[in-house]
Amino acid sequence: MFLLILKRLGLGLITIILVSVIIFTGVEVLPGDACTSFLEREAKGELLEICREKLGLNVPAIERYLTWSYNALNGDLGFSLSGQKPISEIISVRIRNSLVLAFTAIIIGIPLAIILGIITALWRDKLPDIFISTIAIFSMTIPEFISATILILVVAIWLNWLPGIVIVSSNTTILELLPNIILPVIAISMVMTAHMLRMVRSNIIQVLSSDYVQMAKLKGVPYWKMVFVHVLPNGLLPAINIIALTIAWLLGGVVVTEVVFNYPGLGRLVIESISDRDLPVVQALALILALIYVGVNLTADLLTLLVNPRLRTLQIRK
């Protein structure tokens, strides 16, 4: 058990290191360097030298990678080029904003997905299932920027209920932020709920056709008792991993949604920093997003191990 957790942690660490190498090389092969792209083409001679000196660009790439990762480990992500502020300062505000968005979406999305998933599985191929599943297919396949645009068009422009775009600066308080996040949260939780719902549904259907449920039926266990005691606990266990994967997958989609709604979160920072060629920020963002991905997956793995004792031995045998 302990060894298993250690192994998972080790694998996560390796992934993070590889990601940092991939991103560093990716940024490294960009034509020009941070200084030439930041100071625009006209930069030459002395100014360029000073900038390179300041950022330490005149040492070999490997050495720079090592110092960068060493500093990142200590929470120092360097300086942004455009804002001339410490990156950790810029990013921490944005992370907070994105977390507000993500948590609200998760709080609404997960219970909704589980309830709808159970309903669709129990009334499989009947009217409620067909209705909910069709809506789910629509909301999970339509690109985020389209569902967001439709939401703005219908709710903000035609019905005039809510403001269409968020116009707050990035460092407002959470309370001021909350009224602005309704539409983005709907856009994000729609996709998330649809994904989770489908997987919860197929898990429960699988459990419903398993031997022990058949056995319970034959023994004459009342239907609802069977559902709550035998089916749901086993059917919802795999949902932990599914939720983790969905959250991690959403990281990409959230970027687009944030841009559409002009929401000052991590996602918009990704686009802004790439448009500005603010390479130190891009590097830092990639590292943080990868950390979130690995962290969420790791937590899910450990949680599953914790609540499902059968897996522990299975995993070791493997």
Partner 1 sequence: MKNTELETIEEKQISTFDRVSEVLIAIFSRPSGMIGFSIVILHIIIAIISPLIVPYDYKEINSLIMLKPPNETFFFGTDQLGRDVFTRTLMGGRIALFVTFFGTIIAIAWGGFVGIFCGLVGGKIDDIVMRIIDAFLAIPWILAMLLIVVILGTSTQVLIPALGFFYGKGIVRVARAATHDVIARDFIMAAKARGHGNFSIIWNELLPNVRDAIMVEGAMRWSWMLLAFSSLSFLGFGVSPPTPDWGLMISEGRGLMSFAYWSVIAPIVALSSLIIGINLSADAFAKALGIDRTQKAPV
Residues that bind partner 1 (rule: CB under 8 A) add up to a total of 55
| Binding piece for partner 1, criterion CB under 8 A, among 72-80, 86-94, 134-142, 172-180 | 134-142
The span from the CA of 144 to the CA of 101, in Å, is: 15
Using the rule CB under 8 A, which residue among 100, 285, 298, 300 binds partner 1? 285
Residue with tokens 């599953």: 304
SS3 of 79, please?
Answer: strand
User: Per CB under 8 A, which of residues 220..259 are in contact with partner 1?
Assistant: 242, 245-246, 248-249, 251-253, 255-256, 259
Q: Is 112 near partner 1 (CB under 8 A)? A: no
> Residue 173 half-sphere exposure, CB side, CA atoms within 13 Å?
2
CB 41 within 8 A of CB 21: no
Measured from the CB atom, the residue of 216 and 244 that comes closer to partner 1 is 244
Tell me if residue 238 falls in helix, strand or coil: coil
Opening angle at CA 161, ends 158 and 167, nearest 5: 100
Which positions ≥6 away from 82 have C-beta within 8 Å?
Answer: 38, 273, 276, 278
Q: Which of 4, 5, 9, 11 binds partner 1 (CB under 8 A)?
A: 11
DSSP state of 155: I
* Distances in whole angstroms, Cα of residue 110 to Cα of each of 104, 189, 214: 10, 9, 28
CA distances from 263 to 18, 66, 183, 227 (A): 30, 34, 11, 42
Binders in 16-75 for partner 1, by CB under 8 A = 16, 18-19, 22-23, 26-27, 29-31
Q: Counting contacts by CB under 8 A, is residue 132 touching partner 1?
A: no
Asked whether the beta carbons of 169 and 201 are under 8 A apart, the reply is no
Site string for partner 1, 293-312 (x = CB under 8 A): xx------------------
- Round to whole Å and give the CA distance between 226 and 207: 11
Nearer to partner 1, 1 or 146 (CB): 146
Out of 15, 170, 172, 234, point to the residue binding partner 1 (CB under 8 A): 15
CB of 44 to partner 1, least distance (A): 23
Q: Which one among 94, 177, 201, 208 touches partner 1, defined by CB under 8 A?
A: 201
Kindly tell me which residue out of 202, 210, 308, 315 binds partner 1, with binding defined by CB under 8 A: 202
Binding site for partner 1 (CB under 8 A): 11, 14-16, 18-19, 22-23, 26-27, 29-31, 137-138, 141-146, 149-150, 152-153, 157, 195, 198-199, 201-203, 242, 245-246, 248-249, 251-253, 255-256, 259-260, 270-271, 274, 277, 282, 285-286, 289-290, 293-294
